[in-house]
Structure 1
Amino acid sequence: MESFKTLQDTISTALVSTTRSATRISSADIPFQRSLNPEIGTALDAQNARLLHLAQRLLENAAASSDAVGPRLPDAEAIDGNWKGVVDVIDSLLEKADTSLDEYTGVVKRLAPSGDQAAAAAGAPKPRNPMGGSLHIPKPQLKFQHVPKNNETGGFRPLLTSKPYARVPLEECVKAFKDRNGKEQYPHPYQTEIESYNYPSDMYEQSEPQPYTPFETTTATLVDTPEALAAMLSELKTAKEIAIDLEHHDNRSYIGMVSLMQISTREKDWIVDTLKPWRRRLECLNEVFANPNILKVLHGAYMDIIWLQRDLGLYVVGLFDTYHAARALGYPGASLAFLLEKFVQFKAQKQYQMADWRVRPLSDELFTYARADTHFLLYIFDNMRNELIAKSNFSTPEKDKILSVLEKSRETALQRYEHPTYDAELGLGAIGWYKLIMRTPAQFTSQQFSVFRAVHRWRDTVGREEDESPSFVMPNHAVFSVARLLPRDKAALLNVSQHVSPPLRLRANELIAVIAAAKLEDGPELDDTMKKISDLRFAERVAAGTASAPAAGSILKQPLNPAPSLTTLETPPLLRARESRFWGALLDEESGEKQRRLRHTLDINLALPLPPLTAEIFTDNAGIAAQETPKAERPEHTFVPKKDRVPEDQRTDIFVVKQLGGGRKRTLAQATEEESESLAVASQDAAAEACEEQVEADEIGLGEREGTIQKISDAKKRRQQKKAQRERQKATKSSGGSDGEEEAVFDYTTAPTVLRAGDVEREAAHGGKRKKDKKEKKKKDANFNPYAKLTDAPKGLARSQKEGPGRSKTFSS
């Protein structure tokens, strides 16, 4: 984990640095930089070629481990032209990542994607045919004594011919019954034995882990004959615990097949070839697998239990799943590779995990990898059991980790295989389109949705007929691409996906006809179908008792969630309340019912429509307050007789500036200056009058002589004369001149223009006549030139000189 973290940090740092550099380059003026410095252009071209080469190598490496074919990128323009091929490679990688995550979490066991990787996994060079593709391995299922049937629709009848360690006879376990959907089913043959099984008492006792035999000095026994099978069975019957693992292949088979079985005891390992024509004889292993005195240890046995029933008729009683133990202990990883490295310091060769296990004979690398899966598993079981006991509290069942692991292991052993049935309408089930479209959401029109369902069903039908995996016939991303693009002919269909399988190439015309027929159908909308599925699944949960139906007319009262979550198909949409605690009565009965009918499938929990904030919304809550608050009275106007009314102003709004003393226009500065002067003079006059009155009062009060009074009266006369003179000057200025003459009106027709100012002056200089002189024509007008500053801009670079054939431009003549 440390090395991976270091690698992840290094890659992230390099990506961030590269992205920042690319952003800086794209924001610059690249063509200008190329023309400014040719060396920059040469360097950029070299870097472009290097990046294209790296992208080509990445696509080729990615396509080598996927079903797609990497496109060619000879130049930068090829990226846009071949972008569809790049998307196909990325989509195929994402599908592989999804499968790997399922395998890592233990939900699905190792799945082999292709028969083309057999030689690569074995470490040998891949055989090539003249066409350049890898040779396909012959299908071993065609040689089985019981060839798999892919068209069975009823219940899966157990393959048992006998039932060792039975508490219920086999005849009672093969009686068909009807499930709640009315389909025929068969019970689990060992259901009673598994449910009543009591794990040994030493499961709750700590003991020293028993060491495993050295891996390098021991080997496994290959079981590929009936005689070797009998010898192995006799030794397994004496064991107390055994470890079991399977290798499965499902890419070149519709239902898949168990290709290899590994079994280990404390002392010995076996590798069982399960692709032999007599593979049904392996049913004799039920004498060990169903023996309650032998503990069976498996890792991630959810699918192993199903595959053992389907192919070999084997059932496991007394299962201990180390995957559930890893989850109960809170390990950061739960894969078998993680447990091997944690307890044994053994690093599994993960490059063989996706190998084609149909290849025969097995290479040494594949043989060693398969053996390691069970050789250390019993030792890992001992360590995990001790740790579970140490972390358990047996007085409380909720804290009893051993009990929790055993119960989950019991539930895993009770899994029952059923024939895959295809639901064309709703797409439910493991092979239906519903699971695919939920993992890859898409927005389809009704026509595209019809084509999507038709193509998906055609792929399943071809897979059953050809005994091929549907993903081998057509990858999932190709189904979405066909539904989006709606190809009309064979060429367009084969161009949709870079990966074209042999069944698709041979049946391309058949698929084109299916697409054309689906486009003419008046199919349902995608949202309506998803809503129907949601309602159906919710009704099934209500019938099963896992969900309660809401009472009619009840109001849901739930606390507000900290973060509203989207309603998925697993959780039914909540009913909308008729009244809000915050907004009050929002909707009446009619409008509320209409809105519930128009509600979208994916609602938000507790989401309420916000109505317009008008007074009607709060009438119910504020009714009492509105009654107590007195309303404002309207003012009443009293009648007044005409003779008592105030006389109206006879002046109108129309006025003439000249009548109001308007004359020559003044600027803002002149008006401000005159106003300040008048205010200053008025203040000076007022101050002088006040001072003289005060002096006069003082002098009169003191009884001075009459000469003083005469002086005061003379001063008043002088002030009056000055005031009258200022008023006359003010009136003269407002009238338009000192001599009382009005200012002449400005004539715009005879005024010189700005563009012809120089011409008018020259005409005036020549007595009003325009003198045409050659020198004057050449002479530029220096008075006004509106475009004079345009020549001040910096000049661009001259175009680079290029030599033509037969002529050199090194020197200019």
Structure 2
Amino acid sequence: MDTEPGFRAMLAHLRGERALAVDTESNSLYVYREQVCLIQISVPGADYLIDSLALNDLSDLGPLLADPDVLKVFHGAEYDVSVLHRDFGFTVSSLFDTMWASRILGWPAHGLAALLKAHFGVHLNKKYQRANWGVRVRPLPAPQLDYARLDTHYLLQLQEIQSRELSARNRWPQARHRFIKVTRSRGEPKQFDPDGFWRISGVRDLDDAGRGVLRELYQFRDKLAQSENRPPFRVISNQALLGLSEQRPRNWRGLQQVKGISQRMAGRYGRDAFYLLQRMAGRYGRGLLAAIRRGEDQPLGWDERVRPANGSHRKPNGRPSAACHARFEALRAWRNAAAQKRGVEPDIVLTNNTLWAVACQNPTCRADLAENGLLARWQVNEFGDDLLAVIRQTS
């Protein structure tokens, strides 16, 4: 659907349906600020592909997605729900997520390609998994459009299979809770986090001056990415940032010798990068040696890293008490055994974060477990007595 009349005709058809299969395609791998480029909707007998780049106003689609009397079936819905809200202000109600249903049921595979192959004998073309859906040359190639169509074509049938099994195995309470939680997913416009360099694998292995270099390079890369509207990883890789931070080259030749920095990249960014390399370890240093000395005098130590806020159940120093830790270990052992018996992954029973919260709060009754949303109602009903028994045995 890339014209107003076609879009209107589609809406007229969809308003008579009680269930919609929905998916989205974005261009996050190719631009700095991603956007939804395609919305796929399938109903029995029809697959619609909505070109959201070609249409100026999609607002009339919103009431359909928000209608509580119309089932919306997604696969891995958190991302889709969040970007639909971010780009169009849409909300989604009455949601069913086939990925989460697969996990709750303990099916062996959860990816859409694996599920389509197992239940319908359909093979998705992996060639288009990383396709650029935001190219301005339209229409998109027919095989690429067919790939997008298959993302929703079988979802309603898959939902029926999973719904029956959820009922047969009494797992609907957990599924409903998860699906409602997914509808609250929200996407915000991308904001640069200047402390994000702490999350790069390998930052701990750098010396203190190297971490100062990495911090400045990380910010420099983001400015380049914004100016060129490209994802940061397509400007300079994290591996190259680490190499620059560790080796701290003194000249153009040294810059090109860093793994991940091509001659083209060095020629394109070399002058600015070299200037920054002088500036990184110490803003007022002159030359690389002075900058290195400055970094030694004013290091960015590992203990200066930004840490996530500790939960209210932790001790002031951020470490759980010995009693809390003992309860956590006992609860984790119980959780792992319960997950194995249930045939699911451990986090489907209870996440580690939830176990820590329970362990440190030390509840004594079901009311304590439900207090302040510590556990969901289905979790209290399903596991409450077992959790309390483990806590009593550990105390």
Q: TM-score range by the shorter chain?
A: 0.7 to 0.9
The equivalent residue for 1:473 is 235
Q: Which one of the candidate residues 159, 176, 192 is aligned to 1:406?
A: 176
Residues 21 and 43 in structure 2, CA contact (< 8 A), matched pair in contact too? yes
Residues 86 and 186 in structure 2, CA contact (< 8 A), matched pair in contact too? no
Task: Report 1 or 2 for greater relative contact order, CA contacts < 8 Å, sequence distance ≥ 6.
Answer: 2
The equivalent residue for 2:88 is 312
- SS class of match (2:39): strand
After superposition, residues 672-751 of structure 1 pair within 5 angstroms as none
Alpha-carbon RMSD: 2.6
Classify 1:444/1:501 alpha carbon distance in 2 versus 1 (closer, same or farther; 3 Å): same
Residues 239 and 265 in structure 1, CA contact (< 8 A), matched pair in contact too? yes
Query: CA offsets per residue over residues 546-579 of structure 1, 9 Å max, x none?
Result: x24369xx984565969xxxxxxx889xxxxxxx
Residues 19 and 71 in structure 2, CA contact (< 8 A), matched pair in contact too? yes
Residues 473 and 501 in structure 1, CA contact (< 8 A), matched pair in contact too? no
Structure 2: give runs of 5+ residues left out of the alignment. 283-293, 331-352, 358-395
Aligned partners of 2:99 and 2:46: how far apart in 1?
A: 23
Aligned partners of 1:515 and 1:407: how far apart in 2?
A: 51
The question of 1:422 aligning with 2:192 is answered: yes
State the one-letter code of the partner of 1:329.
L
After superposition, residues 302-701 of structure 1 pair within 5 angstroms as 302-359=78-135, 360-392=138-170, 401-424=171-194, 427=195, 432-437=196-201, 440=202, 442-498=204-260, 500=262, 505-520=267-282, 521-522=294-295, 523-530=298-305, 533-534=306-307, 537-538=309-310, 541-542=311-312, 547-549=313-315, 556-557=322-323, 559=326
> How many residues matched?
314
Classify 1:343/1:454 alpha carbon distance in 2 versus 1 (closer, same or farther; 3 Å): same
After superposition, residues 81-96 of structure 1 pair within 5 angstroms as none
How high is the sequence identity, in percent, across the aligned residues?
28
Classify 1:330/1:449 alpha carbon distance in 2 versus 1 (closer, same or farther; 3 Å): same
TM-superposed CA distance for 1:347, in Å, is 1.2
The equivalent residue for 1:776 is none
Residues 210 and 245 in structure 2, CA contact (< 8 A), matched pair in contact too? yes
Residues 297 and 321 in structure 1, CA contact (< 8 A), matched pair in contact too? yes
Aligned partners of 2:92 and 2:302: how far apart in 1?
A: 43
Classify 1:453/1:350 alpha carbon distance in 2 versus 1 (closer, same or farther; 3 Å): same
TM-superposed CA distance for 1:422, in Å, is 3.0
The equivalent residue for 2:362 is none
Aligned partners of 1:247 and 1:550: how far apart in 2?
A: 45
Structure 1: give runs of 5+ residues left out of the alignment. 1-222, 393-400, 563-569, 573-813
Aligned partners of 1:347 and 1:435: how far apart in 2?
A: 36
TM-superposed CA distance for 1:319, in Å, is 1.2
TM-superposed CA distance for 1:500, in Å, is 4.3
State the one-letter code of the partner of 2:185.
Q
- SS class of match (1:537): coil
TM-superposed CA distance for 1:383, in Å, is 0.3
After superposition, residues 202-217 of structure 1 pair within 5 angstroms as none
Q: Which one of the candidate residues 10, 14, 24 is aligned to 1:232?
A: 10
Aligned partners of 1:330 and 1:473: how far apart in 2?
A: 40
The equivalent residue for 1:291 is 67
Aligned partners of 2:321 and 2:19: how far apart in 1?
A: 57
Classify 1:559/1:293 alpha carbon distance in 2 versus 1 (closer, same or farther; 3 Å): closer
TM-superposed CA distance for 1:349, in Å, is 1.2
TM-score when normalising by structure 1:
0.37
Residues 450 and 519 in structure 1, CA contact (< 8 A), matched pair in contact too? yes
TM-score when normalising by structure 2:
0.73
